[in-house]
Amino acid sequence: MLKNDLLLKALRGEELQRPPVWMMRQAGRYLPEFIALRDQYDFFTRCQTPELATEITLQPLRRFPLDAAILFSDILVVPQAMGMNFEMKPGVGPWLENTIKTSADVKNVIVPDVEETLGYVFEAIKLTKKELDGKVPLIGFAGSPWTILCYAVEGKGSKTFDIAKGFCFENPVAAHELLQKITDTTIKYLLKKVESGCDVIQIFDSWGGLLSPNDYDEFSWPYIEQIVNVLAEKVPVTVFAKGCWFALEKMSQSKASALGVDWTVTPQIARYLTKNSITLQGNFDPARLLSPPETIQKIVKEMIDEFGTTKYIANLGHGILPNVPVEHAQAFVEAVVNYKKI
C-alpha cells in the first residue's frame, strides 16, 4: 500500500488541493552524491548494476519531498538488448559504431528475450520497491520507437537527426520494420517492468518535435499508441513528446492517462487542445531553475494557478540541467508541496 498516492490520484483526474511533483532526470548530474558515483563507475555500469541503480533512484528522495521516484536507467538499454552496441562516450554522449544503414541491417536487428537481456533492470525495480517501502510510486520508462530509431540510424546525438529522417524518407519499408521491432521489444520490456513493480510508465519521445505533423503521424505516434494500448490495461501511462504541441489533441484521445508538455506551449493552449480531458504534466523551463529561489517559487505558483490543481502534475518541461544548484531544485519542489490557492 502506498503511503503517498498523490501522483496516482492526479493520473485518475481526482480533485486535489495541490498537484504532485517530480522532476525529469531528478536522479542526476546536479546532485553531488550522483557525481561521486559517476566518478567511480561508468554510465552503463550504473544502469546495469541493480544496487547502483537503486541507490541513484533514491538519492533525490532523501533530499526533497517528491511525490514519485523514477527508476535510474536509460532509453538506450532497449536497443542494446536488440543487438546494437551503444556506449556512452565522454564528451560525446550516446555512440553507436555500427549504425543502421540498410534494409539488411534492419533484418539483423533482433527482438530479444527481455528477461535474458534486461534482467538487471527488473532486479533494480524489485530492489528499489523494497527500499521505497511504499513511500511513493515508482515510475518506469522507455524511449519512443521513433526516438530509438533516431539514435540507431544517426549513431549519436544530433540537433536535426537528418540522417535518421533521410533513412525513413528514402526507405520507409525498412524504417517501419525497424520501428515495429523496437515497438515489440518495448512492449515486452515495459510489461515486465510493471510485473516487477513499476506503478506508472512514461514514454519519452525526445525527438518527435523534429518531425512535421504528417510525418509524426506516420513514423512516431502510431508506434507510441501501440505501446499505450497494451500498457494502459495494466498501469497509468504518461506520454512526453517534446516539441509536439501540434499532436496534443490527437494524443489526448488515446488511452494515455497523462501528457507531458514542454515550456513552448502555455497551460491555456495545452488545456484548449486537449479539451481539459486528460491530466497534463510539466512545463517549467529547466533553465528557469537557474533563477533565484524566490523567483522560482513565484513562477511555480503562477504555473500551478494556470494549470489548476486537478488533472495536473508539476514537473519540468524537460530534464533538469547539470548546472542547477541543489537549493534551486529544492525551491521548485517545495513551492509545489507548499502551494496554496489564494
How far apart are the C-alpha atoms of 147 and 204, rounded to whole Å? 8
DSSP 8-state class, residue 157:
-
Decide: 313 and 137 in contact? Cβ < 8 Å: no
Q: Residues annotated in the binding site for substrate, as ranges?
A: 25-29, 44, 74, 151, 206, 318
Decide: 134 and 1 in contact? Cβ < 8 Å: yes
Per the omega criterion (within 30 degrees of 0), is the bond before 229 cis?
no
How far apart are the C-alpha atoms of 43 and 74, rounded to whole Å? 9
Buried/exposed code over 201-222 (b: 16+ C-beta within 10 A; e: otherwise) = bbbbbbbbbbbeeeebebbbbb
**Closest listed residue to residue 207, CA positions, set 173, 172, 237, 163:** 163
Alpha helices, DSSP H only, in 39-93?
43-48, 50-63, 77-81
The catalytic residue positions are 25, 29, 38, 74, 151
Look at the block and give the residue holding cell 518527435. 208
